[in-house]
Structures are given as structure tokens and as C-alpha cells.
Structure 1
Amino acid sequence: VWALFGSLLWILVLVAIFWYPFDFQLDRTFLRERLLLFERVPFYSYYYGTEFRAVTELLHKTLFFLPLGAILAFGRVRMPLSAARTIYRLLAFGILFAVPFGIELGQIALPEKNPSTTDLLLEITGGCIGYFGLLSARRRAQPGD
């Protein structure tokens, strides 16, 4: 339960980071134009920017979501093998996919932000790296478990 609470706190941090300054524009034509950004080929904006900017954004997106996956995985390792553990795993993956999707959808209404499928993929990847990385590290630390 505390892992879900911890993940909720980290989600609030992520929302604060990725949605600041919270000046949502809800004009229909603006939103329609912004939705077209999702039709771009993944990594389009990274290709046309500088290499430094591409690496910075790649690390920014993945590393900010890594703790979310790790927090959720830490909650799973504390649970005994059971149906509850399976349900928790499904819930954790739902969170790891829904949070980046929600953040990118919210960025559609933020004029200063650039929502994209690339960011969505990198954020999901960061969360999954955190989740599976913590589980892998734990297995190596406790091989008898």
C-alpha cells in the first residue's frame, strides 16, 4: 500500500515538472492543431534538433520516470506469491502506461510544451527500466529468493 502512496507522490512531482506553468489552453482549434503533433514519426523532433538536445531530452524523459517504476517494483517485492501480487503487477503496469499517456495528453493543452509519441515511448521505457531494473537488482542481491 505504501508503494502506491509513494508512486502517487512521485506522479504529483512528474505532473509538476512536465506541466509547469499550468497555463492550459482549451480552445478547440488549438487542441486540434496540437493533436497533429502525435501523428509525427517517433524521434522526428530529436532528428531535426541538435545531438545535445536529443540526448538531454532522452535522458530527461527516461530518468524522471525511472523512480516511478522502481517504487512500484519495490511494492511488489514485498508481497508473497499470490493472486494479489498478480493484481498488483497489472495495476503497476497500468500506472506505468497511464501516467505518461496522461502527461502527454495534458501537454496538448499547454502552449509551451511539445507533446509527442517519442516522449510517450521514452517515458514508458523509463518506467519499465525502473521496474525491471529494481526486480533484477533484487534477484541478484538475494539469489535464494
Structure 2
Amino acid sequence: MTIRDSFLAFADKNHLPVKEKQENGTSIFSFQISGEKGKYGAYAMCLEDERMLTFFVDCNIRVEESQRKIINTYLMELNYQLKMGTFQLDPTTGDITVRACQYIFGNEAEQKFLVERVVLLCGLIADHYCHDIIKHLPE
């Protein structure tokens, strides 16, 4: 089973309307996820040669350049607490995302479990922490 197939099985099971595009032979999916505190753009990249799924959630937070050092320090503290996934601050735009990578291996059921784990975990992390990040933005 390909990483793409595993991801599409997850999307179908959870009724996610995904959009797919191909870049350099890599399937990239985009869709919206909803949590208790908000809605977020999500992106899955299926790296077949590496047997890896890379998953990003856009936190809908753009940090002004003058505030990036303070928020970067806070994100580093959050990342230290997380078991999986990391917050990333784009140094050119100030956009904050949650990112996780997962090697996808095993039989079909194990692959589907690993895909579900990385997608749900990133969504939960974004939904749980994004409002706290906003509170740490200097006035």
C-alpha cells in the first residue's frame, strides 16, 4: 500500500474533502480540519521513496517581524514539551505551523493507524496551543 493510498483511506474514512496536486512526483493534499477552538488549513505530503508522511497544520497566526524573537522563544519551550510534532515559525512570513513527519510501514492496518495518528495529533496540537500562542504576542 502506498503512502498516498493510506492517506486517502484516512481522508475517506473521515469524510475529508481533499484537494490533490503533484509536485515532482510527490502527492500533496490540502484540506480543512476543525477543532474545538477553530478551523485550520492542513497539508499532507506523501513521500513514497522515503515511506514518510509529512503533515502541516496552518495555525492562522502571522507574527510581525518585531515580535518573532519573543514568539520563537515561546515556541521552542512548547516544542520541548511535545512528544511528537513541532511548531515552526517561517522566518520570512512569520506564519506559524505545526509539523510532524511519520515513517509509514507495516501491514495495511498499521499504515492506516500511523497516518491517522500523525494527522489527528497535529490537529490536536494546533487546536490546543494556538490560542495560547496568540496570548503571548506582545501588544
TM-score by length of 2: 0.32
User: Hey, which of these two has a bigger chunk of strand by percent?
Assistant: 2
Larger radius of gyration: 1
Per residue, is there more helix in 1 or in 2? Answer: 1
